[in-house]
Amino acid sequence: MLAQFMSLTKLAVVTIGLGLSTYSHADFSLNGALTLKFPTGTKQEIDMPIAYKGSEYDHKFRVGKMEYTVSGRPERYSFALVLQKNNYMWVQEFAKGYFESFDWTIGDKKIRLYKEILAKPVKGDYILSIGETDYFFQQNLAQLTFIFDEEGIKEIEVDGMVASLGLNKAKTPCPDEETEEPLPEGCEANKN
């Protein structure tokens, strides 16, 4: 009987230890740097981190400036990308008004939304790049869903867009970075 009690006591201590360690290992904090470009040509740099911190009774999830009380580490979080009149974008978490494009580095992920005229026109001339994959709008609403694990972002799912097969190339390639030289005809990626 004493042996059973000691065994149960050891099991309880191990279980409590594992439970507490789950909270500390489930926390994550990903720095995020977001640059928005507006139709006027102005740019705005915004701190846009994603983080989760949990303790036994207190769980906080943060996206940009917003912080939410949650019941535990979220499995996913979605951003809606709204294409307005094929010209401008709106994302609630990013800005109150419309913008033209964005570059967002979140943790080790790079997400870029920009305009470029392609040989076969795409909706709004918008291209969403996540890592090495490009996507095009199918409709005026798309969704980026961040899937989380203990370390942060496990993957990013894209809905409402189609992945490029690499066949639809730019009519006139745009430079990756802004230059002092005039942009080639048909290039809209860096126009002011």
pLDDT tens-digit profile of 42-53? 999 999 999 999
- At residue 152, what is the residue type? G
CA 142: distance to chain centroid? 13
Cβ partners under 8 Å of residue 104, min gap 6: 32, 33, 34, 35, 48, 110, 111, 112
Distance CA 106, CA 142 (A): 19
Name the band, by pLDDT with cuts 50, 70 and 90, for residue 190. very low
C-alpha distance from residue 3 to each of 7, 8, 9, 12 (Å): 6, 9, 10, 14
Q: What's the pLDDT at 13? A: 32
- % of the chain with per-residue pLDDT over 90: 62
Distance CA 13, CA 16 (A): 5
| Closest to 44 in 3D by CA, of 59, 34, 30 | 34
Output the furthest CA–CA distance in the chain (Å, rounded): 86
Q: What's the pLDDT at 185? A: 55
1-10, 13-22, 34-43 — most confident range? 34-43
Q: What is the mean pLDDT of residues 33-57?
A: 95
* Count of other CB atoms within 10 angstroms of residue 189: 20
**pTM of the predicted model, to two decimals?**
0.74
pLDDT of residue 23 exceeding 60, the answer is no
pLDDT of residue 172 exceeding 70, the answer is no
Q: What's the pLDDT at 16? A: 28
Average pLDDT of the chain to the nearest whole number: 81
pLDDT of residue 161 exceeding 80, the answer is yes
Q: What is the mean pLDDT of residues 166-172?
A: 59
Name the band, by pLDDT with cuts 50, 70 and 90, for residue 175. low
Q: What's the pLDDT at 15? A: 26
Cβ partners under 8 Å of residue 176, min gap 6: none
pLDDT of residue 92 exceeding 80, the answer is yes
Distance CA 104, CA 39 (A): 18
Q: What's the pLDDT at 43? A: 97
Q: What's the pLDDT at 117? A: 87
Q: Is 115 exposed, middle or buried (0-12, 13-18, 19+ CB in 10 A)?
A: buried
Q: Give the number of residues written for the chain.
A: 192
Name the band, by pLDDT with cuts 50, 70 and 90, for residue 183. low
Q: What's the pLDDT at 146? A: 97
